Amino acid sequence: AQGILKSNILEKNDDLCVYDISSEALQTFKANGARIATTALEAAQVSDIVMVVVKPWFVQELLTSIREVLDYKKQQLIVVAAGISSTQVEEWLCKDGALLPFYLTIPNIAIEVLASMTFLVPFHSTEEQENLFPVPYRSPAGAHHQGSVSLLGQYQGEFRI
């Protein structure tokens, strides 16, 4: 998330809402202009794009915990966790037969120093939704994401509903 703040992908740093179990990490994000959430549910509710950046063994618990507060008509999800399949995410996100548009990607720590690249593999998204992401072949130089992003990171199972 520090890389997102440094990269100027967002129009304003406070368009990024972060939830993390580490109060130290949250203070670092806050000092850099990000909004801080006190729960994963809060962070999941406030943004257009929800990024789940956790160890693979926490993805199921986190997704099933936030599923009910996600707006399947307005929000999109990015899962940044190695080894998680689209079938698993579909199973964990399915709500009354509906699926949230989501993307899978792999962890890439070099983003923190702006020396990385990655990919987003879309599932259940439209071309219009996919075009929201500022990628070099779609967006002019300096283009920003218009909207808000929530980052749910370092989830360790302490989250309670």
- Using one digit for the tens of pLDDT, what is the confidence trace for 29-73? 888 888 888 899 998 998 888 888 888 999 999 999 999 999 999
Among residues 27, 37, 36, 24, the alpha carbon closest in space to that of 69 is found at: 37
CA distance 44 to 62: 10
Q: Is 149 exposed, middle or buried (0-12, 13-18, 19+ CB in 10 A)?
A: buried
pTM of the predicted model, to two decimals? 0.75
10 Å Cβ neighbour count for 34?
A: 25
Average pLDDT estimate for 86-110: 87
State yes or no: pLDDT of 121 exceeds 60: yes
Residues 36, 29 contacting (CB under 8 angstroms)? yes
CA distance 15 to 93: 24
What lies within 8 Å, CB to CB, of 100 at 6+ separation is 70, 72, 75, 76, 77, 93, 124
3-38 pLDDT per residue, tens: 666 666 666 556 677 888 888 888 888 888 888 888
124-151 pLDDT per residue, tens: 888 888 777 655 433 333 433 444 444 4
